[in-house]
Amino acid sequence: MTAFTYKATTRDGKVVDGLIEAENERAVLIKLQDLGYLPLRITAGSKSGASVFAFNFSAQRRRKVRAKDLLMFTQELKTLLRAGLPLDRSLMILEQLTEKGVFQEIIHDVIGKIKGGKTLADAMADHPDVFPKVYVNMIRAGESGGVVPQVLEEVSAYLERSVELRTYLATSLIYPVIVSSMMIVSLLVMFLFVIPKFAQIFESSRAPIPLPMQVLMTISDFFTGWWWAIVGVLVLAVFGFVRWRQTPRGRRVWDERLLRTPVLGRLVSLVEVARFNRTLGTLLQSAVPLVQALTLVKEIINNQVIAETIEPIKNGVKKGDGLVGPMRKTGVFPPLSLHLIEVGEETGNLAAMLTQAADVFENDARVEVKRLIGLFEPAMILLMGVVVGLIVITMVFSIFSISEIPM
């Protein structure tokens, strides 16, 4: 038997907590339901190991609300509303569960504005840094149709898949970054510390320096003598690139070149097409009109080249050309995506087909990441081995040349 801590709410909205011993989380859930409680947080052992029911925020005050926090907020709000609790009471419960910080203040502000007569969507729209336009418009559509809990289900699924894909891409880059960093650190240690020691040995022995060693010593002298200039140039280069990348023309040129990159371009295209399909499908499932949904989708596409194709698609939809026809003319979307969307239009099941297409391309993106890492890892290890090996061999032969000098 494992000890589980829980937080739950009673039917009248009172928050309760306690400790239950059970075999697993499902057994805890059944026990809480038998007691007439609605589970909000179930934690095995200690409060640090939150389960899928957890709505757990860091005790430290955050200056920015994370996507995971918004996801958990949406899931818990959906659970409370489906249990029949009023909206304002549900938000007050979530405010109590949230640790003191920015998000708690935002929830408190939303509650105040709802009590002042605003709708949930309008109250959330006042905090665009936390609730994006896609989120707000889906809530607004749910309020118009009286199906907010169902829309929150769609929003939760959308956020969950988005967070999952973003997390997968980020964690996949950890090992390549570590390997690259180790290679750079190894070379810096060689040129800044090891080779200068060898240079002192040659100077003290007054022996002729072999040409390969002279090259290494020249590079080492450059790094040791001009390291401050190198650091300054790198900082200025990074700063200049970031500023250029922030300009409309710079972003457009960079995104276009990124798409044309032989290997990386395909990954970027897959991620953006998956984001387009999932967002548009989720908006349509939430009863957002197609033209308005396309306007919202344009705002969440990161690549400018692909984002620019949304406007012609929207114009085509307004003219009555449907969705797949204008999409095909852009030349950006893969044939499989166009085929699925075409089937969706013909069968009247466009939202489901867009979601299915998003599943396909997200899976393809994961496969592409694995393939890239599979190519990158051995290439970096081989490069590091060759470079470090050549340096070591050069130093070893140089030592032998000193020992061959007649005393």
We report the CATH number of the domain holding residue 95 as: 1.20.81.30
Of the residues 146, 164, 198, which one is the last residue of a structural domain?
146
Question: Does 164 reside within a domain?
Answer: no
Structural element, H or E, at residue 389: helix 350-403
Judge residue 359's burial from the number of C-beta atoms within 10 Å of its C-beta, 0-12 exposed, 13-18 middle, 19 or more buried: middle
Does residue 135 share a domain with residue 221? no
Question: Does 160 reside within a domain?
Answer: no
Does residue 76 share a domain with residue 17? no
Domain containing 132 equals 57-146
Give the bridge partners for 16, in sequence order: 8
In which band, very low, low, confident or very high, does the pLDDT at 54 lie, cut at 50, 70 and 90? Answer: very low
Does residue 316 share a domain with residue 304? yes
* Degrees, nearest 5: CA angle 103-106-110: 140
Does residue 63 share a domain with residue 37? no
Does residue 43 share a domain with residue 64? no
Does residue 76 share a domain with residue 40? no
Does residue 87 share a domain with residue 50? no
Does residue 135 share a domain with residue 255? no
- Pair 45, 19: CB distance under 8 Å: no
Question: Does 299 reside within a domain?
Answer: yes
pLDDT, tens digit, 9 for 90 and up, residues 259-300 = 888 878 888 889 889 989 988 988 888 888 888 889 888 888
Quickly list H helices, 16-57: 25-34
Residue tagged 């908006």 (tokens): 283
Residue type for 277, please?
N
pLDDT at site 239: 94
Read off the tokens for 40: 């909000």
In angstroms, the first-to-last Cα distance of the chain is 79
Question: Does 351 reside within a domain?
Answer: yes
Judge residue 343's burial from the number of C-beta atoms within 10 Å of its C-beta, 0-12 exposed, 13-18 middle, 19 or more buried: middle
Domains contained in the chain, number = 3
Q: What is the average per-residue pLDDT within 202-215?
A: 77
Question: Does 156 reside within a domain?
Answer: no
Question: Does 267 reside within a domain?
Answer: yes
Question: Does 222 reside within a domain?
Answer: yes
Does residue 108 share a domain with residue 232? no
Does residue 256 share a domain with residue 141? no
Does residue 310 share a domain with residue 184? yes
Residue 119 CB neighbours (<10 A): 16
Does residue 204 share a domain with residue 81? no
pLDDT at site 12: 64
Least confidently predicted of 53-57, 64-68, 142-146, 184-188: 53-57
Judge residue 9's burial from the number of C-beta atoms within 10 Å of its C-beta, 0-12 exposed, 13-18 middle, 19 or more buried: buried
Global pTM?
0.70
Q: What is the average per-residue pLDDT within 119-129?
A: 90
DSSP tag of 193: I
